[in-house]
């Protein structure tokens, strides 16, 4: 009998801090902890949950970094309205809360943001790309040419690398960091997207067209090529996920 490599990978056990974060994140996202609610003091939480106070303290700091709670010195910890206070990290938490199923409103917002954001990175990449950027993009295109369609996770990684490299080529220091912030979520969405192998060839052809526009320093063609790519991807993603497409998205 053949045994997969994954069989003997080390087992991962969550720390007490991670267990605390997961439990309280669920309580907040589910609405069981209402907005504005004051949590018990750290010492009391530690006693009730039978863990050390540092576990509670570090867990609350992480929840605060995600925008789920506010820690007010000498007053206590309060539940936030995560829609107003949440950070980018909360996007992954929301997906996990839905057990990997992407909420349609979240998906619609992400896709609309990508059109605005990545069209600009493509335009700037055409203006500022270096020889090293072109070489890196060519290497990615070579990887795409040998991708195995039956392994969507591999295709997703190469696809993400393509978009991230364009962000790097833009010359803007923040754009690649934003891409990194969305990496986990992007890969999750792309992994589902590439379960349909029929989209791979059209996507990779559009990648080649965009790289050629960037090579020629044609900013408008690069921008339009990226918009075409993202519109194609969006339409097919809704189809693959079996979702109705939102009709109120902003387009430029």
Per-residue pLDDT band at 132 (split at 50, 70, 90): very high
Task: Say whether pLDDT at 10 is over 90.
Answer: no
Domain boundary among 30, 62, 87: 87
Q: What digits encode the pLDDT tens for the residues 37-69?
A: 999 999 999 999 999 999 999 999 999 988 899
Kindly state whether residues 78 and 109 are assigned to the same domain. no
- Residue 86 pLDDT > 80, yes or no? no
* Boundary-marking domain end, from 28, 59, 87: 87
Do 225 and 166 share a structural domain?
yes
Does a structural domain hold residue 38? Answer: yes
The predicted structure's pLDDT at residue 107: 82
| Backbone φ/ψ region at 226: left (φ over 0), alpha (ψ -120 to 50), beta | alpha
Across 146-167, average pLDDT: 93
pLDDT at 167: 96
Q: What is the mean pLDDT of the chain?
A: 87
How many residues are listed for the chain in this entry? 252
Give how many domains the chain has, as a whole number: 2
120 lies in some domain: yes
Residue 250 lies inside a defined structural domain of this protein: no
Domain with 43, as residue range(s), is 16-87
Looking at the structure, do residues 183 and 209 belong to the same domain, yes or no?
yes
140/183 same-domain check = yes
Q: Say whether both 202 and 78 belong to one domain.
A: no
- Whether 247 is in a domain gets the answer no
Residue 71: CATH number of its domain: 1.10.10.10
For residues 63, 64, 67 and 71, what is the CA-based torsion angle, rounded to 10 degrees?
130
Instruction: Note the pTM of the prediction, 2 decimals.
Output: 0.71
CB atoms within 10 A of CB 126: 24
Same domain, 75 and 173: no
Residues 118 and 206 both lie in one domain: yes
Q: Is 99 left (phi over 0), alpha (psi -120 to 50) or beta?
A: left
The pLDDT tens digits of the residues spanning 185-204 come to: 888 889 989 999 999 999 99
Is 6 domain-assigned?
no
Does any domain span residue 95? Answer: no
187 CB burial (10 A radius; 0-12, 13-18, 19+): middle
User: What CA–CA distance (Å, rounded) separates 175 from 123?
Assistant: 13
When pLDDT is averaged across residues 226-243 and rounded to a whole number, the result is 93
Helices 89-97, 16-29: axis angle to 10 degrees equals: 80
In this structure, what CATH number is given to the domain that contains residue 214?
1.20.120.530
The answer to whether residues 116 and 161 belong to one domain is yes
């Amino acid at each position: 009998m053949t045994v997969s490599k994954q069989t003997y990978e080390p087992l991962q056990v969550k720390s007490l801090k991670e267990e605390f974060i997961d439990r309280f994140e669920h309580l907040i996202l589910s609405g069981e902890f209402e907005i504005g609610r004051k949590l018990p003091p750290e010492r009391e939480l530690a006693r009730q949950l039978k863990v050390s106070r540092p576990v509670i303290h570090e867990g609350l700091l992480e929840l605060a970094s995600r925008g789920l709670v506010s820690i007010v010195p000498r007053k206590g910890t309060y539940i936030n309205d995560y829609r107003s206070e949440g950070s980018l990290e909360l996007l992954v938490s929301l997906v996990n809360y839905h057990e990997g199923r992407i909420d349609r409103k979240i998906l619609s917002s992400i896709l609309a943001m990508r059109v605005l954001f990545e069209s600009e990175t493509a335009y700037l990449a055409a203006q500022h790309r270096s020889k090293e950027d072109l070489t890196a993009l060519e290497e990615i295109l070579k990887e795409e040419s040998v991708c195995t369609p039956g392994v969507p996770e591999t295709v997703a990684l190469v696809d993400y690398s393509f978009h991230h490299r364009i962000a790097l080529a833009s010359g803007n220091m923040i754009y690649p960091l934003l891409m990194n912030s969305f990496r986990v979520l992007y890969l999750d969405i792309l992994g589902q997207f590439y379960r349909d192998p029929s989209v791979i060839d059209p996507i990779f052809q559009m990648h080649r067209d965009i790289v050629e526009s960037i090579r020629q320093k044609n900013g408008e063609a690069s921008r339009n090529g990226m918009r075409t790519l993202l519109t194609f991807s969006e339409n097919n993603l809704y189809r693959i996920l079996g979702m109705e497409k939102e009709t109120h998205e902003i387009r430029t």
